[in-house]
């Protein structure tokens, strides 16, 4: 190949990668794909083929190299045992009454007397259909087009709330039905969703647009270990088929039965008789306020006719059953003026643009600011200062700007550009090639320090009770903290002079800080906030480097040799410790009595996080010997088996895994790696 041909190919690869990233962005971040899955797959395949032919053109940030980038997911199709209907919507109490009137007209007088309703939350996630055969979870699928869904059994097996066997509690003396097919919703809790997105943004990765996208994106991974590491939850809300189980005559009974089998059924369900219909409308109204206190997103309620016989008689029109109605709360959107765009500095130095809004009421809460994600988001949506913008608030999730109202412009709107310098410290802001995020290059930036301290003391890191963002801000502003080690040498006498820092408070804080000194070293490593080194990676690394003093001198090759640690992570660690002040930090921690080396191999936690799961370990794992892996699983309440069967929950596979891996694939048993096992146990 000539030099000019090579340069053309290089350009083609770069362009393809850019197009793929753009479409991933439309799909994941905006939930608004421009091209079909097939067209996307074709682009992805083209890039893969080009890279295979020219491996030197494959960059570490190529979409083909990104775990989790697999939206080219190809799953088998499953035909549902019955059409998976959708629901008709209502938005006003009047429509509820009209629905009830119609039901009453369609039913006989005798039926009207027995008419009752079950009201339950309308969960906002991904609809799934779960099959149990002789009590064993045998198949799971997405709703798809209602007739066919995608078979995602292996990924669903990683959802912890999904019992792999029913009844989950054998001791209850209940027999398993010969066949059970249920419908449910896989979702993410609001706090988990916000935390996940925050981490993505801090790592310079893209965030998911909404909890539903998160659930869908997490379940449609080709690699189950990615799904396993996602905080997915499940509610089951409909029994579609029950064979050789109790005869069920009502939905209410069905829910109780599913619950007794150990399936997660939402406790927030209510039953009303037809006489009590005025209470249904009152309940619906009252729930509108209450739903914000629920840990998961609810965009409405579903009202169902309780009697299964009546349900059958009422049937459906088009795709909607006559016996159920979704009462949707008005979208939590509002229109307001975007007064300004300011940038906030995060712990890694990543700066995120935030909207300053003319205050506006959104579902009962005054909103004054909203996230704008990153530079590309603003540019791609052409959001300008002075625009009228649509904003959305979903539960606890930070409000976001959805789009500008282009037609409302009067020409005075200003196009925004990312500032060249950090608004807090004045250092240059840079955007690394191929990344969405922009960074403040000054490690000593005070705002970075506040965020770094907040992260250090946080629950996933050193977990210091009584220490949060307020203390971080205060102590940095007072000049008590200049680097992370200063957390262990605070001037307590001066702190006692501060308002609100009485004896009790100070004592608690001191005790919290003292207790954190003996945390396992993977927590300290996490707490340093090195890019790409979160809790899971930190644990992996400290299995190999049992002292942070050794890690300081680690070479990229040594780090790369650890399975699960790629070049990006290795480079990030080496870069971090190439900075003299970061090396000195470890010395300081040690001098201050903070644990920087493990006494003995990290003892497994005594939790029962793997209870009910059966594992088969095969191949060579990066840090565990076979015996150590078995001990680890048992210490966390899991079971270990020697051979793979349909009863196996997970196969943990390492290097050179052989026939057991093949067997797992044949049976659709999810295969995970050591890192995923650790994260499940954590």
> Active-site residues: which are they?
122
Token duo for residue 102: 């119609």
* Alpha carbons 307 and 112: distance in angstroms, whole number: 11
Task: Spell out the SS3 assignment of 196-234.
Answer: HHHHHHHCCCCCCCCHHHHHHHHHCCCCHHHHHCCCCEE
Residue closer to ligand IVH by CB (options 189, 202) is: 189
Q: 224-237 burial, b for 16+ CB within 10 Å, e for fewer?
A: bbbbbbbebbbbbb
Of the candidate spans 80-88, 98-106, 275-283, 399-407, the one that interacts with ligand IVH by CB under 6 A turns out to be: 80-88
Whether the Cβ atoms of residue 126 and residue 215 lie closer than 8 Å to each other: yes
CB of 519 to ligand IVH, least distance (A): 41
Q: 405-427 burial, b for 16+ CB within 10 Å, e for fewer?
A: eeeeeeeebeebeeeeebebbeb
**If binding means CB under 6 A, how many residues of this protein chain bind ligand IVH?**
15
Among 51, 111, 120, 223, binds ligand IVH (CB under 6 A): 120
Tell which residue, 242, 246, 237, 241, has the closest CA to residue 265.
Answer: 237
Residue found by looking up tokens 């957390």 in the block? 487
Among 9, 59, 65, 86, binds ligand IVH (CB under 6 A): 86
Burial class (CB in 10 A: 0-12, 13-18, 19+), 504: exposed
CB of 114 to ligand IVH, least distance (A): 21
Residues 199-218 that bind ligand IVH (CB under 6 A): none
Token duo for residue 320: 């909607």
Residue closer to ligand IVH by CB (options 85, 469) is: 85
CB of 25 to ligand IVH, least distance (A): 26
For the beta carbon of residue 82, count every other beta carbon within 10 angstroms: 12
Q: Does 539 bind ligand IVH (CB under 6 A)?
A: no
Tell which residue, 29, 12, 11, 31, has the closest CA to residue 376.
Answer: 29
CB of 365 to ligand IVH, least distance (A): 24
Q: Return the axis-axis angle of helices 626-635 and 674-681, rounded to nearest 10°.
A: 20
* Alpha carbons 174 and 263: distance in angstroms, whole number: 13
Residue closer to ligand IVH by CB (options 18, 82) is: 82
CB of 560 to ligand IVH, least distance (A): 45
Map residue 429 onto helix, strand or coil.
strand
Q: Does 142 bind ligand IVH (CB under 6 A)?
A: no
CB of 83 to ligand IVH, least distance (A): 9
Site string for ligand IVH, 223-262 (x = CB under 6 A): --------------xx------------------------
Q: Does 144 bind ligand IVH (CB under 6 A)?
A: no
Whether the Cβ atoms of residue 605 and residue 636 lie closer than 8 Å to each other: yes
Cβ-based neighbours of 383, under 8 Å, separated by 6 or more: 338, 341, 372, 377, 389, 401, 403, 404, 416
CB of 75 to ligand IVH, least distance (A): 18
CB of 326 to ligand IVH, least distance (A): 5
Residue 389 host element (H or E): strand 388-394
Residue closer to ligand IVH by CB (options 184, 564) is: 184
Tell which residue, 395, 184, 218, has the closest CA to residue 298.
Answer: 395
Site string for ligand IVH, 492-511 (x = CB under 6 A): --------------------
Task: Spell out the SS3 assignment of 125-158.
Answer: CEEEEEEEECCEEEEEEECCCCCEEEECHHHHHC
Q: Does 670 bind ligand IVH (CB under 6 A)?
A: no
Site string for ligand IVH, 36-75 (x = CB under 6 A): ----------------------------------------
Strand partners, 355: 341, 370
CB of 295 to ligand IVH, least distance (A): 16
CB of 388 to ligand IVH, least distance (A): 30
If phi > 0 it is left, if psi is from -120 to 50 it is alpha, else beta; for residue 269 that is beta
Q: Does 297 bind ligand IVH (CB under 6 A)?
A: no
Among 21, 143, 233, 291, binds ligand IVH (CB under 6 A): 143
Strand partners, 35: none
Task: Spell out the SS3 assignment of 244-306.
Answer: CCCCCCEHHHHHHHHHHCCCCCCCCCEEEEHHHHHHHHHHHHHHHHHHHHCCECEEEEEEEEC
Whether the Cβ atoms of residue 671 and residue 224 lie closer than 8 Å to each other: yes
What end-to-end distance do the CA atoms of the chain give, in Å? 51
Q: Does 270 bind ligand IVH (CB under 6 A)?
A: no
Site string for ligand IVH, 164-203 (x = CB under 6 A): ---------------------x------------------
Among 27, 28, 123, 467, binds ligand IVH (CB under 6 A): 123
Of the candidate spans 82-90, 131-139, 544-552, 660-668, the one that interacts with ligand IVH by CB under 6 A turns out to be: 82-90
Residues 563-602 that bind ligand IVH (CB under 6 A): none
Of the candidate spans 21-29, 48-56, 117-125, 166-174, the one that interacts with ligand IVH by CB under 6 A turns out to be: 117-125
Residue closer to ligand IVH by CB (options 303, 672) is: 303
Among 35, 85, 256, 536, binds ligand IVH (CB under 6 A): 85
* Alpha carbons 216 and 66: distance in angstroms, whole number: 18
Q: Does 117 bind ligand IVH (CB under 6 A)?
A: no
* Alpha carbons 548 and 530: distance in angstroms, whole number: 13
Residue closer to ligand IVH by CB (options 217, 399) is: 217
Residues 303-332 that bind ligand IVH (CB under 6 A): 321, 324, 326
Q: Does 648 bind ligand IVH (CB under 6 A)?
A: no
Among 24, 62, 64, 127, binds ligand IVH (CB under 6 A): 127
Residue found by looking up tokens 């370990």 in the block? 617
Tell which residue, 266, 281, 380, has the closest CA to residue 24.
Answer: 380
Residue closer to ligand IVH by CB (options 81, 426) is: 81
Residue closer to ligand IVH by CB (options 183, 678) is: 183
Residue closer to ligand IVH by CB (options 85, 161) is: 85
For the beta carbon of residue 67, count every other beta carbon within 10 angstroms: 11
Residue closer to ligand IVH by CB (options 240, 397) is: 240
Of the candidate spans 83-91, 516-524, 571-579, 661-669, the one that interacts with ligand IVH by CB under 6 A turns out to be: 83-91
Residue 99 host element (H or E): helix 93-106
CB of 18 to ligand IVH, least distance (A): 35
Of the candidate spans 121-129, 131-139, 465-473, 553-561, the one that interacts with ligand IVH by CB under 6 A turns out to be: 121-129
Residue closer to ligand IVH by CB (options 35, 240) is: 240
CB of 622 to ligand IVH, least distance (A): 40
Beta strands in 346-387 (DSSP E): 350-362, 365-371, 384-385
Residues at the site binding ligand IVH, with contacts judged by CB under 6 A: 85-87, 120, 122-123, 127, 143, 185, 237-238, 302, 321, 324, 326
């Amino acid at each position: 190949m000539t030099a000019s041909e090579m340069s053309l190919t290089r350009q083609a690869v770069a362009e393809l990668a850019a197009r793929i990233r753009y479409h991933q962005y439309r799909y994941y971040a905006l939930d608004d794909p421009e091209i079909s899955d097939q067209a996307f797959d074709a682009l992805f395949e083209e890039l893969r083929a080009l890279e295979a032919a020219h491996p030197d053109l494959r960059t570490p940030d190529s979409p083909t190299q990104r775990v989790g980038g697999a939206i080219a997911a190809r799953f088998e199709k499953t035909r549902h045992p019955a059409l998976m209907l959708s629901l008709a919507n209502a938005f006003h109490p009047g429509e509820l009454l009209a629905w009830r009137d119609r039901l009453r007209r369609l039913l006989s007088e005798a039926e009207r007397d027995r008419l009752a309703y079950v009201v339950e939350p309308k969960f906002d996630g991904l609809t799934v259909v779960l099959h149990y055969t002789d009590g064993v979870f045998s198949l799971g699928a997405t709703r798809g087009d209602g007739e066919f869904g995608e078979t995602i059994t292996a990924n669903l097996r990683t959802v912890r709330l999904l019992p792999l066997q029913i009844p989950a509690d054998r001791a209850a003396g209940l027999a398993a039905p010969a066949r059970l097919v249920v419908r449910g919703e896989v979702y993410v809790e609001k706090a988990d969703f916000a935390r996940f997105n925050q981490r993505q943004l801090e790592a310079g990765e893209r965030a998911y647009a909404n909890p539903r996208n998160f659930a869908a994106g997490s379940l449609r991974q080709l690699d189950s270990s990615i799904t396993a590491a996602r905080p997915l939850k499940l509610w089951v809300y409909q029994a579609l088929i029950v064979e050789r189980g109790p005869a069920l005559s009502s939905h209410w009974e069905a829910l109780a039965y599913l619950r007794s089998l150990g399936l997660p059924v939402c406790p927030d369900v209510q039953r009303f008789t037809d006489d009590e219909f005025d209470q249904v409308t009152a309940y619906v109204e009252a729930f509108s306020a209450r739903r914000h206190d629920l840990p998961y997103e609810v965009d409405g309620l579903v009202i169902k006719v309780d009697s299964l016989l009546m349900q059958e008689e009422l049937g459906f029109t088009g795709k909607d059953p006559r016996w159920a109605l979704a009462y949707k709360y008005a979208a939590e959107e509002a229109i307001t003026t975007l007064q300004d765009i300011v940038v906030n500095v995060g712990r890694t130095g990543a700066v995120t643009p935030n909207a300053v809004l003319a205050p506006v009421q959104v579902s009962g809460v005054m909103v004054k600011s909203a996230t704008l994600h990153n530079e590309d988001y603003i540019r791609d949506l052409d959001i300008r200062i002075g625009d009228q913008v649509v904003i959305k608030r979903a539960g606890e999730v930070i409000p976001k700007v959805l789009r500008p109202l282009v037609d409302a412009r009067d020409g005075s709107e200003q196009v925004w550009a990312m500032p060249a310098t950090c608004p807090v410290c004045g250092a240059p802001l840079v955007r690394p090639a191929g990344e969405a995020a922009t960074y403040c290059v000054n490690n000593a930036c005070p705002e970075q320090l506040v965020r770094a301290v907040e992260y250090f003391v946080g629950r996933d890191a050193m977990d210091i009770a009584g220490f949060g963002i307020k203390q971080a801000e205060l102590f940095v502003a007072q000049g008590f903290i200049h680097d992370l080690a200063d957390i262990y040498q605070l001037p307590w006498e001066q702190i006692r002079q501060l308002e609100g820092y009485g004896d009790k408070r100070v004592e608690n804080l001191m005790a919290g800080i003292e207790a954190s000194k003996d945390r396992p070293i993977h927590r300290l490593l996490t707490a340093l906030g090195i890019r790409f080194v979160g809790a899971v990676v930190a644990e992996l690394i400290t299995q190999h480097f049992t002292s942070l003093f050794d890690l300081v001198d680690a070479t990229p090759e040594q780090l790369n040799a650890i399975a699960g640690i790629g070049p990006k992570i290795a480079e990030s660690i080496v870069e971090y410790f190439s900075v003299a002040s970061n090396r000195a930090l470890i010395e300081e921690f040690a001098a201050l009595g903070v644990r920087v080396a493990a006494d003995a191999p990290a003892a497994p936690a005594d939790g029962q996080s793997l209870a009910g799961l059966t594992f088969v370990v095969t191949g060579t794992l990066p840090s565990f010997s076979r015996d150590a892996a078995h001990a680890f699983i048992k210490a966390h309440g899991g079971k270990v088996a020697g051979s793979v069967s349909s009863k196996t929950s997970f196969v943990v596979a390492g290097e050179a895994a052989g026939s057991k891996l093949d067997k797992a694939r044949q049976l659709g048993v999810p295969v995970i790696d050591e890192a995923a096992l650790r994260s499940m146990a954590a």
